Amino acid sequence: MNKPSAQELLEHIDYKISQKKYQDSVHKITLMTARDVIKKILENKEI
């Protein structure tokens, strides 16, 4: 089983939000929050 990278996960979440592929407004907010947290982690990641 292939695990998605953080960038692929972000793209998938953005796709779900933009295509309105969520169950309800609570699910949309959960997706948006997850997206924001992942972006914040990636921005602060030191290589």
Domain ranges of the chain: 6-44
Closest CA to 17 of 5, 32, 37, 39: 32
Res 45: pLDDT: 72
- pLDDT exceeds cutoff 70 at 46: no
For residues 6-12, give the mean pLDDT.
95
- Give the torsion sign (CA, 4, 5, 6, 9): negative
Check if the beta carbon of residue 31 is closer than 8 Å to that of residue 14: no
Residue 9 has pLDDT above 80, yes or no: yes
Per-residue pLDDT tens digits for 16-33: 999 999 999 999 999 999
Question: Whole-model pTM?
Answer: 0.81
pLDDT of residue 11: 96
